[in-house]
């Protein structure tokens, strides 16, 4: 099985996420069921939401705040899973709770294992 990184992208407000506390509490059972389905198959490696606070470090400077795309979309969470193929991960991703929000998406990136010897 190969490992995949799923990056959850969502639009943001000026200084925080768009989702309200009510959105978060309403969405939590959906996230638990969605992640639970992957976990019950023994294919969940790790997952976590990401705090809004961030630092961007380049050779020239350190900038406080998360990287946002031009339309204010940023990474808000991630999941690492194992799957037999990319198509399996794409099917899970099509039902991800993040997709209810405008401008949201799930980016799937296959992970490359480091050679150990």
CATH no. for residue 43? 3.30.70.1060
**Looking at the domain assignment, is residue 56 inside a domain?**
yes
Structure tokens at 94: 């099509």
**Looking at the domain assignment, is residue 32 inside a domain?**
yes
pLDDT (average), residues 45-66? 90
| Prediction pTM value | 0.86
Position 79 scores a pLDDT of: 97
| Count of structural domains, the chain | 1
Confidence label for 36 from pLDDT (cuts 50, 70 and 90) = very high
**Looking at the domain assignment, is residue 117 inside a domain?**
no
**Looking at the domain assignment, is residue 75 inside a domain?**
yes
**Looking at the domain assignment, is residue 116 inside a domain?**
no
Position 20 scores a pLDDT of: 67
pLDDT (average), residues 19-38? 87
105: helix, coil or strand?
Answer: strand
Average pLDDT, the chain: 89
Neighbours of 59 (CB within 10 A): 4
Instruction: Please check the confidence at residue 19 and state whether its pLDDT lies above 90.
Output: no
How far apart are alpha carbons 21 and 5 in whole angstroms?
26
Confidence label for 74 from pLDDT (cuts 50, 70 and 90) = confident
How far apart are alpha carbons 100 and 23 in whole angstroms?
11
Q: Which residue range(s) make up the domain with 41?
A: 2-110
Neighbours of 22 (CB within 10 A): 8
């Amino acid at each position: 099985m190969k490992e995949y990184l799923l990056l959850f992208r969502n639009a943001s407000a000026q200084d925080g996420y768009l989702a309200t506390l009510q959105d978060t509490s309403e969405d939590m059972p959906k996230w638990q069921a969605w992640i639970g389905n992957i976990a019950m198959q023994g294919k969940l490696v790790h997952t976590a939401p990401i705090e809004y606070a961030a630092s961007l470090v380049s050779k020239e400077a350190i900038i406080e705040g998360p990287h946002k795309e031009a339309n204010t979309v940023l990474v808000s969470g991630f999941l690492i899973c194992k799957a037999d193929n990319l198509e399996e991960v794409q099917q899970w991703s099509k039902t991800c709770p993040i997709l209810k929000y405008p401008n949201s998406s799930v980016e799937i990136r296959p992970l490359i294992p480091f050679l150990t010897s």
